Structure 1
Amino acid sequence: MTRPPLPHDFQRPVPAFTVTSTDVPDGGTLAESQVLAGGNVSPQLSWSDFPAETRSFAVTCFDPDAPTGSGWWHWVLFDLPVDTTELPTGAGSGDFEGLPAGAVHARNDYGTKNFGGAAPPPGHGPHRYVFTVHALSVEKLGLDADTSPAAIGGTLGFLAVGRGTVMAEYENE
Structure 2
Amino acid sequence: MSLERPVTPDPYPLLPAVPSFTVASDDIVDGQPLADAHVNAHGDTSPHLSWSNAPEGTKSFVVSCFDPDAPIVSGFWHWTAVDIPAEVSELATGAGASDDTLPGPAFHVRNDGGGHGFMGAAPPEGDQVHRYYFVVHAVGEDRLGVDSDASPAVVGFNLAFKTLGRAVMHGTYAH
So what's the TM-score if we normalise by structure 2? 0.94
Which residue type is aligned with residue 7 of structure 1? P
Q: Which runs of structure 2 are paired with 1:109-128 in the superposition (5 Å)?
A: 109-128=112-131
Q: Which runs of structure 2 are paired with 1:114-153 in the superposition (5 Å)?
A: 114-153=117-156
Q: Does 1:18 align with 2:22?
A: yes
Secondary structure of 1:133's match? strand
Secondary structure of 2:158's match? helix
Which residue type is aligned with residue 77 of structure 1? A
Q: Give the total of aligned pairs.
A: 171
Secondary structure of 2:168's match? strand
Secondary structure of 1:146's match? coil
Return the alpha-carbon distance in structure 1 between the equivalents of residues 72 and 142 of structure 2.
32
What is the RMSD computed on CA atoms of the aligned residues?
1.2
Deviations, residues 57-106 of structure 1 (Å, cap 9, x unaligned): 00000000000111000001110000000000001116843x20200100
Q: Does 1:32 align with 2:24?
A: no
Aligned residues of 1:75 and 1:108 also touching (Cα < 8 A): yes
Aligned residues of 2:99 and 2:106 also touching (Cα < 8 A): no
Structure 2: gaps spanning 5 or more residues = none
Q: CA deviation at 1:7?
A: 2.7
Aligned residues of 1:7 and 1:62 also touching (Cα < 8 A): no
Q: Which runs of structure 2 are paired with 1:5-84 in the superposition (5 Å)?
A: 5-84=9-88
More helix by share: 2
Change (3 A) 1:124 1:16: same
Return the alpha-carbon distance in structure 1 between the equivalents of residues 144 and 98 of structure 2.
24
So what's the TM-score if we normalise by structure 1? 0.95
Structure 1: gaps spanning 5 or more residues = none
Aligned residues of 1:12 and 1:158 also touching (Cα < 8 A): no
Return the alpha-carbon distance in structure 1 between the equivalents of residues 31 and 7 of structure 2.
16
